Structure 1
Amino acid sequence: MAALPVITSPQEFNTDDLYVDLRRVLGTALHLKCEGFNFAGSVKLKAAAAMVEAAERSGALREGSVLVESSSGNLGVALAMIAADKGYRFLCVTDARCNLGTRRLMEAMGAEVHSVDRPDEDGGHLGARLRHVRELCAADSRYVWLNQYTNPYNALAHQHTTAPAIARQFPDLDVLFVGAGTTGTLMGCARWFRQWTRPVTVVAVDAAGSVTFGGPPRTRMIPGLGAGVRPPQLDHSLVDDVVIVPEPETVRTCHRLAAAGFLFGGSTGTVVAGARRWLAAHRSGTPVTAVAIAPDLGERYLDTVYQESWVRSVYGDAVYGVGTDGTDGVGGPDGTAEGGCPAVEPCPPVATSAAR
């Protein structure tokens, strides 16, 4: 038996080599890379650690500095943990969609949490959060904004760790599914695999109502994936395809996984739902090696995604029905996903992996 690691800082522990084969659970040839087995509970630990270390090296972050960041939850928890370990104050700017449990986690580690109440007309909740962060920084020079939306170390963290870890485990990888939030994970992995020896199709998975890939803005209730402002880091040319997933389908996928004993978070449910749709449409009956990145675990969603009264109040009884396409999604009479959002939404023409 391998010796267990001995750590002195919480960010030193992060399981990077755990995968779940979903074939038995979902009947889909898909491996799920679990990124939530660390003290922050999500994939955001990698970006948080990389951005803090870079700010320290540059001298921007020093004794007396106050970290400030906009986050729907998971990055905020990771930064709260790192700030507590390193002795920094941390202020997280979030909004009403942030789960109560997530907010309490941040506060338990000493973070201060500001929640914006009203979305901006153009940028939604994200736009309102960013405006509040800018106001804080303008009022006090001690505030240091890492800015996960433009910080290159957000993507570099995954270019240096996540992507090569997947390649080592799956040298015959054909398709990689990555959720799109800030697009740090997506861009880091996409850039790495563009330089790899084997062509890999990189499929982005986004939430219905997000504007990231040009869709119309709509209210989103599940934090994590999606954005009300187009992510500055997104390079569309690195993405081979896009799947848009309505939130009811996310909920149903989470419940399907939980029924098999795998309690994953809302972001993971979205990624898995999108991967199933894409594989059914493009690789049905064809042998394929596919990996999806699972950003989070499910404990922080017990009062929302896994709470029946909340689900019914937000999405209605139809969320527990069966989609018109035979999947766990909620389909409309015209074959589109709920709300008229296409189940699979291709990018503008770009070179696919098969063509490269």
Structure 2
Amino acid sequence: MSVITVPQAFDEEELYVDIERTFGQPLLLKCEGFNFAGSIKLKAAAAMVASAERDGSLTADSVLIESSSGNLGVALSMIAASKGYRFVCVTDSRCNLATRLMMEALGAEVHLMAGQEANGGFLGARLDHVRRLCASDDRYVWLSQYSNPANWKAHYRTTAPEIARSFPRLDVLFVGAGTTGTLMGCARYFRTWHRPVRIVAVDTVGSMAFGGTPGRRMIPGLGMSMRPPLLDDSYVDEVVRVEEADTIRACRRLARSGFLFGGSTGTVVSGAVGWLARHERQSLTSVAIAPDLGERYLDTVYQDNWVQDLYGPDPLDPTYPAQHHAHSPL
């Protein structure tokens, strides 16, 4: 029996889903959505808050503020509620309605940036708003998930060792790229491990995290409209970029097998399955990190009208072939 007094004290660490039957490739998903925040962002949120408390920048009078497309905002809302902090989440119009309502239910104040008001797109608009608020009142404490080293250190101390304990013969690890906190923490850990592990970053088409041309991105979670300050691509062996239509196909294919995962997980799965199909080595021990579950995407990824309006009918057809994934070694 487990008894907890704060929600962040519970996080399932050892659950994996074998999706070979669904996709025909040897791939295990490390499920990170089984906690009260519903995503892997709980780890980074808890680590960043603890770091700010230790260094004295976060006090009882402080107001936490952060820019988030959704999952980190929920995690911080939950932690702020449990610790008695005020929290302001600055998000944008791509944030799922269920996510916004969840943050508000937990007591957070949600500021919604309705348009791409800066050269940096939605993210630039959010960061500009955060900076304005911080300049207006010194009680605001911005954790800055994009540059805070506690973000990647959380995964260096938790996520990567969890995988290492379960898979001492790991060959390849697929990690979605957003702020790159999860990616950098895992990549740094496995760089010095007892055997080489190929680190494959999975990004979304239209993201500028690893360079390239910016494009429309409507599914929140992965991808950045700038190079992430935390990113050191010397730790990354390869980058796979996934079309959002393929994210939707992967999510829906998983759902047809009874597993309702979120958009970030769909992107990672699509990229990983494509990579494995190109390499065709069945003996590989392959793990992908599944950051989130799917309930918050019911009105987007799993809603036929939303999908068809943005991507046409093809993603709704499970027999339609996936797009070619762009991939590049680093």
**So what's the TM-score if we normalise by structure 1?**
0.91
CA RMSD, Structure 1 to Structure 2 (Å): 1.1
Matched, 1:168 2:165: yes
2:304–2:316: 8 Å Cα contact kept in structure 1?
Answer: no
Match for 1:203 among 197, 200, 205? 200
1:119–1:125: 8 Å Cα contact kept in structure 2?
Answer: yes
- Cα deviation for residue 347 of structure 1 reads 3.3
Matched, 1:346 2:314: no
SS of the equivalent of 1:176 reads: strand
Map of 1:26 onto structure 2 = 23
SS of the equivalent of 2:329 reads: coil
Map of 1:320 onto structure 2 = 316
Matched, 1:88 2:70: no
Map of 1:294 onto structure 2 = 290
2:25–2:282: 8 Å Cα contact kept in structure 1?
Answer: no
2:248–2:301: 8 Å Cα contact kept in structure 1?
Answer: yes
Map of 1:352 onto structure 2 = none
Match for 2:224 among 217, 222, 227? 227
* 1:88-127 alignment, distance < 5 Å: 88-127=85-124
Matched, 1:257 2:239: no
Map of 1:7 onto structure 2 = 4
* 1:208-287 alignment, distance < 5 Å: 208-282=205-279, 284-287=280-283
Map of 1:41 onto structure 2 = 38
Map of 2:145 onto structure 1 = 148
Letter in 1 for 2:327: E
Change (3 A) 1:347 1:123: farther
Map of 1:303 onto structure 2 = 299
2:26–2:282: 8 Å Cα contact kept in structure 1?
Answer: no
- Cα deviation for residue 344 of structure 1 reads 3.1
2:253–2:318: 8 Å Cα contact kept in structure 1?
Answer: no
What whole-Å deviation, never above 9, does each CA across 1:48-103 have from its counterpart, x for those lacking one? 00000000010000011000000000000000000000000000000000000000
Letter in 1 for 2:19: L
What whole-Å deviation, never above 9, does each CA across 1:207-249 have from its counterpart, x for those lacking one? 1110001121111000000011210000011000000000000
- Cα deviation for residue 180 of structure 1 reads 0.1
Letter in 1 for 2:303: Q
Q: Which stretch of structure 1 is more off in the superposition, 88-97 or 117-126?
A: 117-126
- Cα deviation for residue 322 of structure 1 reads 6.5
Matched, 1:194 2:191: yes
- Cα deviation for residue 318 of structure 1 reads 2.0
Map of 1:76 onto structure 2 = 73
- Cα deviation for residue 345 of structure 1 reads 1.7
Q: Which runs of 5+ in 1 are unaligned?
A: 332-336, 338-342, 349-356
- Cα deviation for residue 285 of structure 1 reads 4.0
1:277–1:344: 8 Å Cα contact kept in structure 2?
Answer: no
1:263–1:299: 8 Å Cα contact kept in structure 2?
Answer: yes
- Cα deviation for residue 170 of structure 1 reads 0.5
CA distance in 2, matches of 1:185, 1:103: 23
Letter in 2 for 1:281: R
Letter in 2 for 1:249: D
CA distance in 2, matches of 1:11, 1:49: 7
**So what's the TM-score if we normalise by structure 2?**
0.98
CA distance in 2, matches of 1:120, 1:290: 41
SS of the equivalent of 1:76 reads: helix
CA distance in 1, matches of 2:101, 2:82: 17
2:63–2:140: 8 Å Cα contact kept in structure 1?
Answer: yes
1:268–1:295: 8 Å Cα contact kept in structure 2?
Answer: yes
- Cα deviation for residue 122 of structure 1 reads 2.6
Percent identity of equivalent pairs: 65
Map of 2:181 onto structure 1 = 184
1:211–1:217: 8 Å Cα contact kept in structure 2?
Answer: yes
- Cα deviation for residue 321 of structure 1 reads 4.1
Residue correspondences, number: 330
- Cα deviation for residue 323 of structure 1 reads 7.9
CA distance in 2, matches of 1:189, 1:315: 33
CA distance in 1, matches of 2:208, 2:294: 25
1:278–1:344: 8 Å Cα contact kept in structure 2?
Answer: no
CA distance in 1, matches of 2:248, 2:42: 24
1:91–1:114: 8 Å Cα contact kept in structure 2?
Answer: yes
CA distance in 2, matches of 1:163, 1:344: 26
- Cα deviation for residue 306 of structure 1 reads 0.3
